[in-house]
Amino acid sequence: MHNQIDQAAGLRKLKKNKPVRVIAITSGKGGVGKTNLSVNLGIAMAQKGQRVALLDADMGLANVDILLGLYPKFNLSHVLTGEKKFG
Ligand SMILES: Nc1ncnc2c1ncn2[C@@H]1O[C@H](COP(=O)(O)OP(=O)(O)OP(=O)(O)O)[C@@H](O)[C@H]1O
Ligand SMILES: [Mg+2]
């Protein structure tokens, strides 16, 4: 286990400084508006002064980048392979 990459290390480091609130948006059915709700909730919270990190955990067809007009060089798969890390 100690040889494996600790993917939660970055989150734990953040938690030490300030409590991190996690909101999971999920559903039992596809296409019901999760991504749109997540983006708009994130924008609303940021406008109220919160620091927001939006994570699209869809490993197949993540599209939050498209909604936000972003062109990321890396995605969640790079974190899982250890190539990149959070924080
Ligand atoms: N409140 C809403 N009213 C009308 N249409 C909506 C609303 N929210 C989302 N939609 C539309 O529904 C479709 C699916 O939205 P969205 O991508 O947010 O759903 P999703 O639950 O994230 O889907 P997936 O399960 O494929 O990730 C999109 O075409 C979007 O424009
Ligand atoms: Mg979605």
The per-residue pLDDT for range 6-43, each reduced to its tens digit, is: 778 877 776 677 788 999 999 999 999 999 999 999 99
Report d(CA 37, CA 25) in Å as an integer. Answer: 8
pLDDT value for 29: 94
Residue 59: give the domain boundaries: 9-80
Helix (H) or strand (E) holding 62: none
Pocket test for ligand 1, best of 25, 26, 34, 36 (most atoms within 8 A of CB): 36
Cβ(37)–Cβ(56) under 8 Å? no
| Residue 1 belongs to a domain | no
Cα dihedral across residues 5, 74, 56, 44: positive or negative: positive
The pLDDT mean for the chain works out to 88
The predicted model gives 69-73 an average pLDDT of: 94
Report d(CA 34, CA 40) in Å as an integer. Answer: 10
Split into its structural domains, the chain has a count of 1
| Residue 2 belongs to a domain | no
| Residue 52 belongs to a domain | yes
Report d(CA 40, CA 37) in Å as an integer. Answer: 5
Q: How far is the centre of ligand 2, averaged over its atoms, from the C-alpha of 74 (Å)?
A: 18
What predicted TM-score, i.e. pTM, was given to this entire model? Answer: 0.80
Q: Which of 6, 42, 5, 40 is nearest to 22 (CA)?
A: 42
| Residue 87 belongs to a domain | no
| Residue 86 belongs to a domain | no
Is the pLDDT confidence value at 5 over 90?
no
